[in-house]
Structure 1
Amino acid sequence: MKAFKVIGILLLIIVGLLAAGGYYLYSNLNSLVKEGVETVGPQVTGTNVNLNSVDIALKDARAQFKGFSVANPAGFTTDNAFSFEDIVFDIDPSSLQTDVIVIDEMRISGVSITAEQKGLDSNLQALLRQINENVGGGSTQQEQAAEESAGKEIKLAIKKLVFSDNKVNLVTEKYGDYVLEMPIIESVNLGSASNGLTPAQMGKAIVDPLIKQAKKTAEKRLKKLAEENIKDKAEAKMQEKLDSALDDDAKEKLDKVKGLFGK
């Protein structure tokens, strides 16, 4: 569960500032959230976390992020482990002063996950190791600060979560690179107004279905590639055995017969 805290902390920063968003914060709210995400994120992931822009409407209890990305650990050729083009939160305004912040709908589009294999390791495994090392011992100072800004017992609930325009970038040493499309992913009732989830629990609930679908998509393609590779090797071996069993005269006759059929 610790591995998903970056998503939970991101949510906590947003709803915490919305809940506490007095007039003195209004003019700087977007930049405060952007700075918070880009400061706390790397301390959790151990890699760069970037957010291009933030647009928060306090009056409407709505927030929109554009260009959110988490960079790969060192040693991998691709830039990002995953990125989201657009994240939109529609928050129930009446919940902002309660212990459970309710997000009516969270829409994440332009999802791109990179699964890069390198030897016996992968970028996603390396990233998860770094996250566990950074937050495995309990709450970090950054988490505690975020919790204090949002309220001691703040929990989260999402009525509807949608991932759309999803893809997996599969990068392998053996089979090459592939871009694989994923279906729309929808989840409902992640926590409730009476029984909210902690930021870490919510981070896991958000990311789990996405990771499972990405894994399923990648494994399906890898299985097909492996089967094709085995088939090609079997055919090549069979041809090699056939060639070795024929003498030169038989090979010449066989080639003439093939020539009759344009082969």
Structure 2
Amino acid sequence: MTNAKTLGQAFDALLQPDKFRDYGPNGLQVEGDREVKLLVSGVTASRALIEAAIEADADAIFVHHGLFWKGQDGRVTGWMRERLRLLLTHGIHLFAYHLPLDAHPELGNNAQLARVLGLQADGRFGEQDLGFVGTGVKTWASPQALADHVAAVLGRSVICAGDSNRPVRRVGWCTGGAQGYFEAAIAQGVDVFITGEISEPQAHLARETGVAFLACGHHASERYGAPAVAALVAQDLDIQHRFIDIDNPA
């Protein structure tokens, strides 16, 4: 029988959350009361994902963005009350892994984004080695050509800031809201840096350094790690798995 403890031990063994300084708790965030036969994975523990998991008769949910973060208002009111009410009423376990899911060398968000985009990592950089650096399995004539490729693969528009004609030899990437890693990526000698979001300073840095900055969407860049991890754990524990992607324009 697979219960919350068994599932949590499997996730912990794979993702090793104790190695990371994170912004919230990794692991079991909400304990339900169900035997786990169906595990649903998704990006964020939103109400829409929880409702979809209930509709699917799921017993547990595995996400990248959980419910609890350092510094947030701890009161259980409004939207938080409703998400917790749904989980507890239906006895569904909620597991969330943030930085450990980004960092896993084969199944994490960065590794899986590289897989779908056709990138090969040969190094790491940045705080806690979360950033990846490497080359493409094919070559792109310019950052704009790479941006067009990323847009086609991820199915959304991509912002390309900086020199759109620079030859692409080295690429750095870090999924989600990793715009603060741009300077560390520049120091690695990359021609292009890919992440989910762009803030005002990065456009200036891209223009001034000649290193292109591609922003391809926080959600869009982090759709691949959770289902990869959940599918492997579900296979190992002989339970069912289903990925539910809740569309997000961010």
Same fold at TM > 0.5: no
TM-score by length of 2: 0.26
TM-score by length of 1: 0.26
The structure that is helix-richer by fraction is 1
The structure that is strand-richer by fraction is 1
Higher-Rg member (1/2): 1
